Amino acid sequence: MANADCVVIQGSNMAECHPVGFQWVSEAKARGARVIHIDPRFTRTSAIADTHVPVRAGTDVVLLGAIINHVLSNDLYFHDYVVAYTNAATLVNEDFVDTEDLDGVFSGYDPRTGTYDNASWAYEARADTDGEIQEPAGDDEPESRTRARAAGQELGSYGAPLEHARVVRDETLQHPRTVFQILKRHYRRYTPQMVRDVCGIPEEQFYEVARAITDNSGRERTTCFAYALGWTQHSLGAQFIRAAAILQLLMGNMGRPGGGIMALRGHASIQGSTDIPTLFNLLPGYLPMPVAGEHDTLEDYLSQIASPLQKGFWTESPAYTASLLKAWFGDAATPDNDFCFDYLPRLTGAHGTYQTTMAMLDGEVEGYFVVGQNPAVGSAHARMQRLALGHLKWLVVRDLQLIETATFWKDSPEIATGEVRTEDIQTEVFFLPAATHVEKSGTFTQTQRMLQWRHQAVRPPGEAQSELDFFYELGRRMRDKLAGSTDERDRPLLDLTWDYPQDEHGEVDGEAVLREINGSHLTGEKAGELLSSFTQMRADGSTSGGCWIYTGVFAGGVNRSANRVPRHEQDEVAAQWGWAWPMNRRILYNRASADPQGRPWSERKKYVWWDEEAGRWVGKDVPDFPVDRDPSFRPAPDDGGPAALAGDDPFIMQADGKGWLFAPKGMVDGPLPTHYEAQESPVDNPLYAQQRNPSRLIFPRKDNLWSPSGEEPGSDVYPYVFTTYRLTEHHTAGGMSRWLPYLSELQPEMFCEVSPELAQEVGLENGGWATIISARSAIEARVLVTDRVRPLTIAGRTLHQIGLPYHWGIGRDAVVEGDSANDLLGVVLDPNVHIQESKVASCDIRPGRRPRGEELLRLVSEYQSRAGTTAATAHERVDEVPPEMARRRAAAGAPGETGSTSATADTEGTG
């Protein structure tokens, strides 16, 4: 980031939530970069930025789409980069129909299931192959199933698979079915005027932002984007990020110093917990979790990850998978038994946190481990979370403090309202004290994919244990209990390699685990030696490795994550600080920092280039490309895998080697980002008849009600938009801050931030109390009246936004307590990654404290009945369109119905 000439921070409050990383923005600024902050509120990030652009929450696709349109219509894109390195020139097949032609849905939409069949989004194939390019193995997986396993998220580090890469390209970009022309048509109506009317951004400010980006992109300059949960936590969150990716590709800002899109990670090792996942649908290294009935054999499984005929490194997934299984099951894993592939659990549906919560309410879940999380405060619809906990038989909470999730049975707000009585809760709650980050050693993997080793400073107090020790001990005890069992179902546990060395205190050696993750040679003359690169992994069981992308972190027996050469003692790339996956590369896809012939785009942005004499890629970083591949190399038609990468295919993990402006596969809710309003919005979608993302995951339940939107009757009952966020002074749901007096003192009470105009409109006083009511619940907060929140003019109407930090919860154990903003939220999820929409929703606000006891429930239900909301409200998948349009949609769609279909009948989330 320090090398960027313009930094656009959107969907993130970087200075407040990532203050340490923000030093690189400060550094860029000190070098003369422009810093632009686009956010509903003026925050501590805005205070440092050159420009703050207030935006209506949830409208980022309109803004980004309009910049894309501006760039395309005025020929401001980086032409040479776009033609050579993206799929702009690639042709899409004839069946594709855009949202512009179907009033808000793409071709292939099935209104009964709310899912897309993406066959019509495929690339056109060259005449020597058939029709269109599908997923490998014939694309027989129903899309509803891909969605149920959050398929988009499985593509955490790679592009979706393609059968082969024999695409048709028109490098003049003129063919009407080139991605370039499709993109142009798709964003034609995303204009500065639309931005003004939808986002509330004046036209001159739009041009200022657009100019900053275009002036600071190209050969000589680069622009960097940074986002965090302000982009992800929406019912189309993944598409917000796709929109930025399209813009950055068009401007030539990927794979180059000072470019890229920084996904700012919300807390320690969140990147690490997707690399070595805590997610239900992933195995380490972004290998997908196998699905019941589809991946019965290792062969079935591998054939869906990648086709041998596509380009890039995913074709090597058999080696990654075999090495993983060897790391887990050791000698028990052999080629003959598919390396114990059968031992892996299979997915039978979506098992995300919200689906699990609803399954608890329905009595389908007996036990629950809560580790490093405080769902009673920190998850959307926190009220539903607390009620669900009371349906468990047992609950284990491992935390530093007695968080609200551990004490819900005695002091949750539902006890105060009389809905729940302590004596009726049958859940047995176990609280186990956890060691803090200074009391254990191990790695953190942060933004930028960097592993950094952390040394233990002090031993954990009392019975507190690290996660590593706890799970090792738990596994050991379970294995002891099962020892001698002949039952087949116990084999996976008994065959696990579960033998890490412990020190004199009984603490497991974290470096031993990191060595196992790194992997080693198992046979041959190198047997026992640690691997230095994932390219050494083999599919025949001769290597092991717990996470292929981490291979190399322990190369040569040295823990490279513990490298700590100060920055003043090395060059700017700082390769000797920590270790970044893969292969200690600091910028991914850095082949794109050179032109198609391999020369740096400019002296100023020189990074990795082709050394003609040496016949190698060289530069400041580890080249992210086959190191001896000549820029002029062209593969033979039947080549696959890394061998099929042409000398100008910089996106080596994409199935066609190109950056995807248009995503023919991989996104479950459309190949191009399209603006939909949030689940709850006081504004009608001015672009399409389709109000909301037609593929969002909905849960029509009586305990998950929504305000009517736009012009629907009753929407004026909840006329204001609220957004939730964090403050520097606290950490997420408060478990690491509300118990600390020094932090609690700095932000002692729950508050709401309102504009002076709204305060006047409803009679709020600075420092006084306000009650905020949504269709789910009502909370109280102290009032901060501030110019940092501005009313916006949306299509000629004034729209007020309210800011709510979400750190507080009700529980008597903390130093400070308060109502939780998450109580106001409902559950609606992005279909790609199953993240909840918690950055935008509707509410009312009024002066004074909220009622106590049963009165609170009465207030909430009085609002609900005034708004006329029912379980069906806002749960329509598609909105009414004229019959002619319905016919067109049907013609372009999947089998079945026309017109609008309510989803109330086929309730999701309980399966």
Cβ(642)–Cβ(655) below 8 Å:
no
Task: Considering only the stretches 88-96, 285-293, 671-679, 722-730, report the one whose residues sit in contact with another protein under the rule CB under 8 A.
Answer: 722-730
Shortest distance, CB of residue 759 to another protein, whole angstroms? Answer: 12
Strands of 72-213, DSSP E: 109-110, 115-116
Cβ(274)–Cβ(549) below 8 Å:
no
Question: CA 544, 548, 554 angle in degrees (round to 5)?
Answer: 75
Shortest distance, CB of residue 745 to another protein, whole angstroms? Answer: 5
Shortest distance, CB of residue 410 to another protein, whole angstroms? Answer: 22
Shortest distance, CB of residue 782 to another protein, whole angstroms? Answer: 5
**Is 679 one of the binding residues for another protein (CB under 8 A)?**
no
Strand partners, 779: 772
Question: CA 552, 554, 559 angle in degrees (round to 5)?
Answer: 135
**Is 47 one of the binding residues for another protein (CB under 8 A)?**
yes
Query: Residue type at 622?
Result: V
What is the distance between the alpha carbons of residues 542 and 522, in angstroms, rounded to a whole number?
Answer: 5
**Is 16 one of the binding residues for another protein (CB under 8 A)?**
yes
Instruction: Using CB under 8 A, pick the residue from 782, 813, 897, 899 that binds another protein.
Output: 782
Question: What is the x/- site pattern for another protein, positions 796-815, by CB under 8 A?
Answer: -------------------x
Instruction: Using CB under 8 A, pick the residue from 46, 107, 715, 822 that binds another protein.
Output: 46
Question: What is the x/- site pattern for another protein, positions 208-247, by CB under 8 A?
Answer: ----x--xx---xx--------------------------
**Is 205 one of the binding residues for another protein (CB under 8 A)?**
no
Shortest distance, CB of residue 733 to another protein, whole angstroms? Answer: 19
Sign (positive/negative) of CA torsion 616, 620, 622, 623? negative
260: tokens are 């890229």
**Is 428 one of the binding residues for another protein (CB under 8 A)?**
no
Instruction: Using CB under 8 A, pick the residue from 747, 771, 838, 864 that binds another protein.
Output: 747
DSSP string for 598-660: S-BS-STT--EEEETTTTEEEESS--SS-TT--TT----TT--BGGG--TT---TTSTTSSB-
Pick 7 or 165: Cβ nearer another protein? 7
Instruction: Using CB under 8 A, pick the residue from 75, 614, 702, 742 that binds another protein.
Output: 742
Instruction: Using CB under 8 A, pick the residue from 1, 22, 59, 779 that binds another protein.
Output: 22
**Is 892 one of the binding residues for another protein (CB under 8 A)?**
no
Pick 130 or 745: Cβ nearer another protein? 745
Pick 53 or 279: Cβ nearer another protein? 53
Shortest distance, CB of residue 30 to another protein, whole angstroms? Answer: 8
Taking CB under 8 A as the criterion, which residues in 760-779 touch another protein? 766-767
**Is 44 one of the binding residues for another protein (CB under 8 A)?**
yes
In eight-state DSSP terms, residue 876 is B
| Beta strand pairing call for 797-799 and 792-794 | antiparallel
Pick 744 or 836: Cβ nearer another protein? 744
What is the distance between the alpha carbons of residues 256 and 404, in angstroms, rounded to a whole number?
Answer: 45
**Is 75 one of the binding residues for another protein (CB under 8 A)?**
no
Strands of 407-485, DSSP E: 428-433, 442-446, 450-454
Instruction: Using CB under 8 A, pick the residue from 266, 748, 847, 899 that binds another protein.
Output: 748
Instruction: For residue 428, count other CB atoms closer than 10 A to its CB.
Output: 12
Pick 221 or 877: Cβ nearer another protein? 221
The phi, psi pair for 449, rounded to 5°, reads 60, 30
Shortest distance, CB of residue 816 to another protein, whole angstroms? Answer: 6
Task: Considering only the stretches 45-53, 136-144, 502-510, 640-648, report the one whose residues sit in contact with another protein under the rule CB under 8 A.
Answer: 45-53
Shortest distance, CB of residue 16 to another protein, whole angstroms? Answer: 7
What is the distance between the alpha carbons of residues 135 and 113, in angstroms, rounded to a whole number?
Answer: 21
Question: Which helix (DSSP H) or strand (DSSP E) does residue 323 occupy?
Answer: helix 317-329
Shortest distance, CB of residue 766 to another protein, whole angstroms? Answer: 5
Pick 70 or 383: Cβ nearer another protein? 70
Shortest distance, CB of residue 790 to another protein, whole angstroms? Answer: 8
Burial of residue 713 (number of CB atoms within 10 Å: 0-12, 13-18, 19+): exposed
Orientation of helix 382-389 relative to helix 404-411, angle to 10° = 70
In eight-state DSSP terms, residue 540 is T
Cβ(78)–Cβ(217) below 8 Å:
yes
Instruction: Using CB under 8 A, pick the residue from 2, 8, 33, 517 that binds another protein.
Output: 33
What is the distance between the alpha carbons of residues 477 and 582, in angstroms, rounded to a whole number?
Answer: 35
Instruction: For residue 695, count other CB atoms closer than 10 A to its CB.
Output: 28
Shortest distance, CB of residue 398 to another protein, whole angstroms? Answer: 23
Taking CB under 8 A as the criterion, which residues in 579-608 touch another protein? 603-604
Sign (positive/negative) of CA torsion 287, 290, 296, 300? negative
Cβ(580)–Cβ(451) below 8 Å:
yes
Shortest distance, CB of residue 42 to another protein, whole angstroms? Answer: 6
178: tokens are 């080139």
Instruction: Using CB under 8 A, pick the residue from 12, 34, 58, 60 that binds another protein.
Output: 34
**Is 757 one of the binding residues for another protein (CB under 8 A)?**
no
Burial of residue 490 (number of CB atoms within 10 Å: 0-12, 13-18, 19+): middle
Shortest distance, CB of residue 777 to another protein, whole angstroms? Answer: 22
Task: Considering only the stretches 77-85, 147-155, 288-296, 746-754, report the one whose residues sit in contact with another protein under the rule CB under 8 A.
Answer: 746-754
What is the distance between the alpha carbons of residues 682 and 198, in angstroms, rounded to a whole number?
Answer: 11
Shortest distance, CB of residue 577 to another protein, whole angstroms? Answer: 16
Could you tell me if residue 137 is left (phi over 0), alpha (psi between -120 and 50 degrees) or otherwise beta? Answer: left
Instruction: Using CB under 8 A, pick the residue from 233, 374, 542, 744 that binds another protein.
Output: 744
**Is 738 one of the binding residues for another protein (CB under 8 A)?**
no
Comparing CA positions, the residue from 829, 830, 777, 834 lying closest to residue 804 is 777
38: tokens are 């686009």
**Is 816 one of the binding residues for another protein (CB under 8 A)?**
yes
**Is 38 one of the binding residues for another protein (CB under 8 A)?**
no
Total of residues contacting another protein (CB under 8 A): 52
Q: What are the CA-CA distances from residue 907 to residues 61, 400, 872 (Å)?
A: 29, 38, 11
**Is 751 one of the binding residues for another protein (CB under 8 A)?**
yes
Taking CB under 8 A as the criterion, which residues in 462-491 touch another protein? none
Task: Considering only the stretches 18-26, 131-139, 826-834, 866-874, report the one whose residues sit in contact with another protein under the rule CB under 8 A.
Answer: 18-26
**Is 793 one of the binding residues for another protein (CB under 8 A)?**
no
Comparing CA positions, the residue from 374, 349, 344 lying closest to residue 364 is 349
Pick 48 or 799: Cβ nearer another protein? 48
Q: What are the CA-CA distances from residue 620 to residues 68, 465, 574, 593 (Å)?
A: 31, 42, 10, 11
Question: CA 204, 787, 860 angle in degrees (round to 5)?
Answer: 110
**Is 416 one of the binding residues for another protein (CB under 8 A)?**
no
Cβ(651)–Cβ(159) below 8 Å:
yes
**Is 395 one of the binding residues for another protein (CB under 8 A)?**
no
Task: Considering only the stretches 66-74, 285-293, 568-576, 726-734, report the one whose residues sit in contact with another protein under the rule CB under 8 A.
Answer: 726-734
In eight-state DSSP terms, residue 159 is P
Shortest distance, CB of residue 638 to another protein, whole angstroms? Answer: 45
Shortest distance, CB of residue 356 to another protein, whole angstroms? Answer: 35
Query: Residue type at 157?
Result: S
**Is 725 one of the binding residues for another protein (CB under 8 A)?**
no
Residues in touch with another protein (CB under 8 A): 5-6, 15-16, 19-20, 22-23, 26, 31-34, 42, 44-48, 50-52, 212, 215-216, 220-221, 603-604, 727-729, 741-749, 751, 766-767, 782-784, 786-788, 815-816
